[in-house]
Amino acid sequence: MRVLSLTGISMGLVLVSNVALANEGRQPRPELVRAPVDKIFVPHGFDDNDNVELILKGEFPSTCYKAGPVSFRLDQASRKITITAQSYRAQQTICADVMIRFVQPVHLGVLDEGTYTVELQDTPQVAPLQLKIERAKKPTQDDYLYAPVDTATVQRDDNGDDVLRIEGEYPYMLTGCMITREVKAQYDANGVLVVQPISEFTEGDECTAQNQKTHYTIKKDLGKLQTQGEFLIHVRTLNGLSLNYISDRKPAADESH
């Protein structure tokens, strides 16, 4: 019996020793910290059967930071939405001190019709915003069929006008094809340009024989956007997920006079 006890103790010591050695070789996990969000963008045009989405924008102070989890709390009585945004910060490592912009969506799901107040938890320097949800006019989540969009940019041409450019690939279809009939673009006072590439499936003369996806590029003259620094390009797409880009366009020269 004594021999068995000593053997058990020895095995236990070996096990503890192996665990300790394993822990010594483990790299430190990143720390969860509050995300340095400096602005909330609230796209307009959501109905009470849409997957509502907000966009957070901020800047990490170094390469030690990466985007982390985002959550929200909805108070139905007061119609108040409180967002909590976190980042991962690496520990015990060398990082470059460089400002890195990040853009992170917050999916709120389907909300009832009404006006909500949106605020960021423990971040008073970020002003609360209003989110308005309209009553849906159609049973489908989107009022339109949207094109699949891969990229979207806004550039200023030689005349001082802002030009929207979207690109993507129409899906391959055995019969017929997909085409974009109209691109709606509306810029609001909160600094959001909502882009709706309204498309449809057709079997008309516009379709050509194709054995693969068809790449497309569409440009739309927006005139002179009344931008004030940064603004969000929010593009509705076929898969129900939006594309979101931050653009920093200075006002046209004649707007300052």
Tens-digit pLDDT profile for residues 8-28: 444 444 444 444 444 566 788
For range 139-146, the mean pLDDT: 76
Query: What's the longest Cα–Cα distance across the chain?
Result: 98
Are 163 and 79 in the same domain? Answer: no
Are 123 and 180 in the same domain? Answer: no
Question: Structure tokens of 64?
Answer: 């030690």
> Which of 100, 133, 166 lies at the terminal end of a domain, its last residue?
133
Question: How high is the mean pLDDT of the chain?
Answer: 84
Structural domain for 68, as ranges: 31-133
- Which residue shows structure tokens 């430190």? 28
> What's the burial of 239, exposed, middle or buried (CB within 10 Å: 0-12/13-18/19+)?
exposed
Residue 123 phi/psi, 5-degree rounding, is -135, 75
> Which of 133, 158, 173 lies at the terminal end of a domain, its last residue?
133
Looking at the structure of the chain, the number of domains it has is 2
pTM of the model: 0.78
Question: Structure tokens of 146?
Answer: 């949207």
Tens-digit pLDDT profile for residues 190-216: 889 999 999 999 887 777 655 567 889
Tens-digit pLDDT profile for residues 35-92: 999 999 999 889 988 889 999 999 999 999 999 999 999 999 999 999 999 999 998 7
Tens-digit pLDDT profile for residues 89-121: 998 778 999 999 999 999 999 999 999 999 999
Of 103-107, 157-161, 250-254, which range is least confident? 250-254
